[in-house]
Amino acid sequence: MADSSFDRQKTWYDGFVKGSALEHGKPLVDEPRFIDLFCGIGGFRLGMGDASFECVFSCDNNSECQKTYRANFGEIPHGNIIDVATDDIPGFDVLCAGFPCQPFSISGKQKGFADTRGTLFFEICRIIEAKQPKVVFLENVKHLIHHDGGRTLQTILDKLCSLGYLTAWKLLNALDFGMPQNRERIIIIASKYGYFDFSRIEKSRCFMLLDYLDKDGSFEYLNEHDYTLIENPIKQRQSGLIFVGYRNKSIRKAGVRPGTEHLSRVHKQPNRIYSAMGMHPTLPSQETSGRYWVLMPDNRVRKLTIDECFRIMGFPSGFSRPSSLGEQYRQIGNSVCVPMVTAIANAVQQQFFEGKGATAYGSLGLVATNI
């Protein structure tokens, strides 16, 4: 009987590992280095740095993000990735990229690769092909999974496989990494050294939003006549959200059944009110006014401060924010959850650079896996 595809791939992997650093449990690299593409304000850099990875190159064409990045890391990221020559990038071990999510986001127009920002993924591939990093670490919005019937994601996975990488992906939530925010993101890990095991990522307990909010300060409250609270709010089991009401906005009354007014499309996130005793919904990149309203234990509704928004993304209290308030809201909505990046980076370190057993058996080869 002819060997199965799995057997052939297992034989290939065993041959690769035998005699290599992975077989002997030695670090493949003593001090792994990474590059920070589409770096934004530096969420990836903070998270990877906390896991002892060294950043050797950064890139983002947004001038406000460049200003914030420089204020915190002492360097100005390179500009448009299209203009970056691969010869100008130092050697590195891990490529990190939270490539533009708007082409795939449910909050955007969802044009995918028809949007020029969507095609920037292929610029990542250009760098991968030229530099051959040991690991590729990509992050994007949840809706990438469903975009164009799943074909967009499959195109990305197929391209990584064609470049010689074993690829795995999983949907992760900031809730599982100590942050009180229902922020789901697809994480793609590709490596030449084996199959990344998502089950080995160390997660941490998350407390309710209230525990992350300031007790004192100058807060913006809604007048009690400007909002409506619903009766008997129910906590959503998976997300931890407790939807308690909405701001009073003019909505179409014709054809609306009694008791369902709060379901109107007018009551999108900027008009919704959630309890501070639960979790907070995703901070979106399109929101520049910070219209995040929470019901406090004293039964008053107030707006989250910008400090609190950065806190529930895992940014340190001393993080410099030189941009305008509107830009800061946009920047934090576009960022990554720092503790999630750190947890993934630690798992990447253990599985690929300390020789603790990246998994090759299960699903390998040209079919990327969701584990």
State the Cα–Cα distance between residues 198 and 167, nearest whole angstrom: 11
Q: Which residues contact 199 (CB under 8 A, 6 or more apart)?
A: 371
- The reply to whether 55 belongs to the active site is no
Active-site pick, 55, 101, 309, 337: 101
Q: Which residues pair with 191 in a beta bridge?
A: 135, 166
The two structure tokens encoding residue 279:
């979790």
Catalytically active residues, by annotation:
101
